[in-house]
Amino acid sequence: MSATIQAVSQALGIPPGSVHEPRPGELRADVEPGTLRAAADRLVADLGARLASLFATDERVWNAVYALHQIWLLPRHWTFLRVSTRVDPAHRRFPSIAAKHPSANWFEREVMDMFGLVPEGHPNPAPVSLHDDWPDGEWALRKDFPDARQVPRVPGSSHPFRPVTGEGVFHVPVGPVHAGIIEPGHFRFGVAGEPVLYLQLRLFYAHKGTEKRFERLPWRHGIFLAESISGDTAVGHALAFAHAIERLSGCEPPPRARYLRVVLLELERIYNHLADIGAIATDVAFSVPAAHAQLLRERLVSLQERLFGSRLLRGTVAIGGVKLDLPNAGREELLAHIQRLQSDFESLVTLLIDSGSFTDRIDGTGTLPIEAARDLGITGLAARASGLDEDLRRDQPHDAYDALSFEVPVEEGGDVRARLMVRAREVEQSIGILRQALGALPDSPLRTAPPSELPAFSAALGWAEAWRGPCLHWVETDAYGALTRVKITDPSFRNWPGLAHAVPGNIIPDFPVINKSFNLSYSGNDR
Amino acid sequence: MFRILARSARTGIVTDPQPLAPRLHRGFPVIDFRRCTACGDCARACPTGAIQLRTDPARPGVSPATTLSLAYGQCISCRECIPACREGAVSVSSSFDLVAYTREQLVHRASFDVDASGRATFRQEESLPGPSLSESAATLAARIRGRFGRSLHVRQVDAGSCNGCELEIAATANPVFDLERFGIQFVASPRHADLLLVTGPVTRNMEIALRRTLEATPEPRAVVAVGACGCSGGIFGEGSYASLGGVDRVVPVDVYVPGCPPSPQAILAGLFVAMGIREARARPESPAPEAGTNQALSSAS
């Protein structure tokens, strides 16, 4: 019995024999509903656990219950832990942990919206994903809800926005159709003149029923749906889905594929970071570096198109490996390109941070303190910019990351500058990772064929540290080996509350640059 | 300050003088119907249902017929159909800038004769009912009366997209494509706009916002649907509890720009078609063997 299982069984208050390890990096344990809260407290206090996802499944057909699942990352033990408990269909209630662990806030409300299971003791049990015109009594992720069901709109009560009172204090509503070329969402600012008193978010305008859609598609086609969860994270989500299916079916991608996946994921990181650094400059009207950043990004994505047949690297990841090779000529071209990119990028960053009028706008703007980041469950680059040192590429390595050496940049400031600098330093690290991976590309086939059928009644977790943060896919099969539940956790879902926390106290004209410094996905959040 | 100026001078002009010139591109697949045996393997491999095989049984006076169709509005260029074809009849074209006025114009369809042994042989290519490209072009031109010819103000509406199309729409404004040199500008309000550039699939939660945005756009106005999801619902399909599908399920669409996502060139081509300064093209050109840039693309899977 490993020390990890011992520690987990102590924290959960169950015998070690009840903690299972279906595969490396994944632990699983069932607990009684009544012990859920105490278990969460001990996991966080004793093991430093961080909530990575929380969701429900409808198991009424074969188990006569619903189930609630919490996925915890145990950073000190290099593993994920799934804690599951049954939810009685007669009462449809489960104990909420959100009062003590705000990271569970939106997750539990989404379970309520999609399954009709009530989080007991939740401090704010309002719908998070359903809009005002969605009727009561319709729960889309229940198994007896057909995916093509057209639900009528009802007048519904308006979403309660926090009232503001006092002289000169008012609401500024923004969206869902924004002024720029960005995704849909509604922001409600309470302001006193220019300073923002608070920000409330109303999202899920881009809710497409993606998790339900996975249940309908053949699992082999799921990879294309995964690429469309968040269009800027096609590789990250495709990898997380592929990892989940591969872990479920015991399919091991060949070495060359594992290295090429690293190349793809780092290219995706670089092109997005370049775009964001340019956009941060745009939002403070510093147009020369903005144009240069756009140029560097465009040159990179055109090269991606030439080498991989897709500007945004779609259709490159396959279940069991990768779809295409990078021949020697392409490898040389890519190495030469990143050589040029590195020096261009260095001078771009210098141009930015040597400008006093630029740093004046980003220093101390939109600060998210480390305590808030930890409590809200912030993850990925936003967490690293607030001083939380976490990165699955190092902590739970996937693909070939365990064979590559790199640093995880962490900044303490928590402001726009910190998020900018994490990006800038990550680009440098990614260039180093690309050099190592391209220099060590092993010779092997590109793909291990996955089995023709997935095992029945099994579940697995897949993850990938994409540019924004970890993408998590939890998949479960039914009696026929078809996907019966796919839970997607995009880092944006965990990070949006962080934005709402970072904005108050700033002025409205700084909102665009704060928003861009997080650059969270609406589609990934809404699914 | 001097450093900024020096940097700009050193960079020079990076704008592509011919942004629509053909380049190596992951184009749309094209089926050589003459080599096709209508076995349906490509249709089974297609994740979005863009390829459909249909068999009509014999009726009095009509021999049994099989039709195979490829709807480019639904195609996400995943290339699964290419290795799926045992006859090698599916290949990658270099075409990336398909643009049409109706969904039907984007469907490539052929019928096959089936003999007693079940063997299918190519009969003919068929077009779907509806106006031709030139008829549609004339209708649109009459409605907008040439007003968009020199200047076009565009309001982009994300009605539920994954953000892939937004990235490529934003890229049309970057220094390489620089759409403002063609008189095209993105504006912040529909009230300032001539044209809505809409991506999909249109979600239940964006349906009302999309309708209202269209109502706020003054006439004459046009709507361009962008991307596989905007044209047809794409991988998300049409008619789920959360997603209605293509933009034309909610508002009338004048121009369709398929692709997942369409490249900045294709989006520019779509805007030019809406302005009436470019001809639409709804069929891929014959396959270019080098188009894939990487031979492994079609063999690895």
DSSP characters over A232-257: GGHHHHHHHHHHHHHHHHT----HHH
Check whether B300 has a pLDDT greater than 80.
no
Lowest mean per-residue pLDDT among B20-24, B160-164, B226-230: B20-24
Which residue from B minimizes the CA distance to A203? B205
Check whether B292 has a pLDDT greater than 90.
no
Cα→Cα distances B56→B64, B113, B127, Å: 6, 11, 17
Residue B141 pLDDT level (bands cut at 50, 70, 90): confident
Q: Tell me the one-letter amino acid at B129.
A: P
Q: Are A344 and A338 in contact (CB under 8 A)?
A: no
Q: Are A104 and A50 in contact (CB under 8 A)?
A: no
What is the token pair recorded at A136? 């009561």
CB contact under 8 A, B7 and A232: no
Residue B13 pLDDT level (bands cut at 50, 70, 90): confident
Task: Supply the pLDDT for residue A341.
Answer: 96
Which residue from A minimizes the CA distance to B78? A315
Using only C-alpha atoms, what is the Rg of chain A? 23
B243: burial class by Cβ within 10 Å (0-12, 13-18, 19+)? Answer: buried
Separation CA A255–CA A442 (nearest Å): 6
pTM: 0.95
Separation CA A154–CA A135 (nearest Å): 6
Q: Tell me the one-letter amino acid at B194.
A: D
Which residue from B minimizes the CA distance to A149? B241
Phi, psi angle pair for B80, to nearest 5°: -65, -30
Look at the block and give the residue holding tokens 């009028």: A357
Q: Percentage of chain B surpassing pLDDT 90?
A: 57
DSSP characters over A186-231: EEEEEEESSBEEEEEEE--TT---HHHHHHHS-GGGHHHHHHTSSG
Task: Supply the pLDDT for residue A1.
Answer: 54
Q: Tell me the one-letter amino acid at A453.
A: E
Using only C-alpha atoms, what is the Rg of chain B? 21
CB contact under 8 A, A212 and B241: yes
Separation CA B184–CA B163 (nearest Å): 21
Residue B287 pLDDT level (bands cut at 50, 70, 90): low
Task: Supply the pLDDT for residue B1.
Answer: 67
Task: Supply the pLDDT for residue B294.
Answer: 43
Higher pLDDT, B146 or A283: A283
Task: Supply the pLDDT for residue A162.
Answer: 82
Q: Are A513 and A416 in contact (CB under 8 A)?
A: yes
Task: Supply the pLDDT for residue A48.
Answer: 93
Check whether B192 has a pLDDT greater than 90.
yes
CB contact under 8 A, A231 and B297: no
Q: Are A400 and A437 in contact (CB under 8 A)?
A: yes
Check whether B298 has a pLDDT greater than 50.
no
DSSP characters over A456-505: TT-EEEEEEE-SSSEEEEEEEE-TTS-EEEEEEE-HHHHHHHHHHHHSTT
Separation CA A477–CA A53 (nearest Å): 19
Enumerate the residues of chain B whose CB falls inside 8 A of the CB of residue A307: 293-294
Q: Tell me the one-letter amino acid at A143.
A: K
Q: What is the 3-state secondary structure (H, E, C) of A342-406?
A: HHHHHHHHHHHHCCHHHHHHHCCCCCCCHHHHHHHCCCHHHHHHCCCCCCHHHHCCCCCHHHCCC
Supply angle C-alpha B235, B239, B242, rounded to 5. Answer: 85
Residue B145 pLDDT level (bands cut at 50, 70, 90): confident
Question: For chain A, which ranges sit under pLDDT 50?
Answer: none
Higher pLDDT, B298 or B60: B60
Q: Please name the residues in contact with A346: beta carbons below 8 A apart, sequence gap of 6 or more.
A: none
Enumerate the residues of chain A whose CB falls inside 8 A of the CB of residue B301: 318, 323, 447
Give the pLDDT mean for B246-274: 95
Q: Are B44 and B84 in contact (CB under 8 A)?
A: yes
Nearest to A323 among B160, B242, B300 (CB): B300
A33: burial class by Cβ within 10 Å (0-12, 13-18, 19+)? Answer: middle
Which of A129, A159, A181 to substitute to test the interface with B, most B CBs within 10 Å?
Answer: A181
A310: distance to nearest CA of chain B, Å? 6
How many contacts (CB atoms, under 8 Å) link A and B? 204
Q: Are A45 and A62 in contact (CB under 8 A)?
A: no
Residue B8 pLDDT level (bands cut at 50, 70, 90): confident
CB contact under 8 A, B205 and A182: no
Closest by CA position to A198, among listed A504, A519, A514: A504
What is the token pair recorded at A127? 């719908």
Residue B286 pLDDT level (bands cut at 50, 70, 90): low
Average pLDDT, chain B: 87
Q: Please name the residues in contact with B80: beta carbons below 8 A apart, sequence gap of 6 or more.
A: B45, B46, B47, B301
Check whether B288 has a pLDDT greater than 60.
no
CB contact under 8 A, B296 and A224: no
- Integer distance in angstroms from the first to the last C-alpha of chain A? 39
Nearest to B164 among A216, A312, A315 (CB): A312
Q: Are A52 and A472 in contact (CB under 8 A)?
A: yes
Supply angle C-alpha B85, B88, B92, rounded to 5. Answer: 90
B124: distance to nearest CA of chain A, Å? 31
Task: Supply the pLDDT for residue A352.
Answer: 93
